[in-house]
Amino acid sequence: MYNLLLTLLLIDCVLIIIAVLMQPSKTNDAMSALTGGADDLFAKQKPRGFEAFMQKVTLVLGILFFALALGLAWLSSH
């Protein structure tokens, strides 16, 4: 059981890395990186399409990572 959870955790780690790298960039130019994006403070829009999907995938993978890590910690202590 421990080996199964560890394998699932490693697969989840790789999938989280891929999901984060596939998310579209939010900075448009170097100036917005220097100012911290203060000009976009009031221009927030809900993500649509691929960006919204990738945010949901990342959230689900993060929750799965947390659950698997807790399961592994509990299993190793018993």
Residue 60 and residue 64: Cα distance in Å, rounded?
6
| Gyration radius of the chain's alpha carbons | 17
- The pLDDT score that the predictor gives to residue 24 is 80
- The pLDDT score that the predictor gives to residue 73 is 94
Q: Give the start-to-end residue ranges of the domains of the chain.
A: 1-25+50-78
Residue 75 and residue 2: Cα distance in Å, rounded?
7
Residue 70 and residue 67: Cα distance in Å, rounded?
5
pTM: 0.71
Q: Cα angle vertex 11, ends 54, 56, to 5°?
A: 20
Q: For each of the chain's 78 residues, which pLDDT tens digit applies? A: 989 999 999 999 999 999 999 988 766 655 655 666 555 555 567 777 888 899 999 999 999 999 999 999 999 898
Residue 24 and residue 48: Cα distance in Å, rounded?
12
